[in-house]
Amino acid sequence: MGRAGREIVKVNVDEVLEDLLKAYADEWLAHYQYWVTAQWISGIDADVLRGILLKQSEDELKHAEKLARRIMQLGGKPILNFDELLKKSGCGYIPPPEDPTNLKQVIEDVLKSERCAIQFYNQMIEKYRHTDVITHEIFEELLEDEVDDEEEWERILQKL
């Protein structure tokens, strides 16, 4: 990023990078969690859930891409080593349930991840509102998507 681009960030860039990397790790782990769960589940209703999991898994990867772009704009690196993902993550990784037919558990775990992201992004929006306009906007876009995701899963859980 150029000089003016850095100058308009009114907080410590390293701190912004830490927050962006945390979100990046969360998004990547959610991407994998939803994807591997889609491969694993079986039983009645599994096909419906599989489609939604794969779609949202793709969306989380797109979120990770947005974050990676911002991280590099600020002179940072996305996470290059796999084991760093878990270390940097704030929301962590929830493996699919041992029982592949336990779809209620699947949905509850996804909701846990989505709600954790909603809480974190909401904090980030407040934090960067007046100090880093671009980072603030990225978190706003992500929050909107996660709020939609949560709503979708709540609806599915009610019908299950």
- Which two three-digit tokens encode residue 13? 């860039």
Distance CA 136, CA 129 (A): 6
Residue 50 C-beta: closest distance to Fe ion, Å: 16
Residue 160 in contact with residue 52, Cβ under 8 Å? no
| Number of residues counted as binding Fe ion (CB under 5 A) | 5
146 binds Fe ion (CB under 5 A): yes
Residue 114 C-beta: closest distance to Fe ion, Å: 5
User: Which residues, numbered 38-67, are part of the site for Fe ion (CB under 5 A)?
Assistant: 60, 63
Residue 103 C-beta: closest distance to Fe ion, Å: 18
Of residues 60 and 132, the one with the C-beta less far from Fe ion: 60
Residue 39 C-beta: closest distance to Fe ion, Å: 18
User: Which residues, numbered 13-32, are part of the site for Fe ion (CB under 5 A)?
Assistant: 27
Q: Which long-range contacts (CB under 8 A, 24 or more apart) does 130-134 make?
A: 130/10, 131/9, 131/10, 131/11, 132/8, 132/9, 132/10, 132/11, 132/16, 133/8, 134/70, 134/73
Binding residues for Fe ion, rule: CB under 5 A, are 27, 60, 63, 146, 149
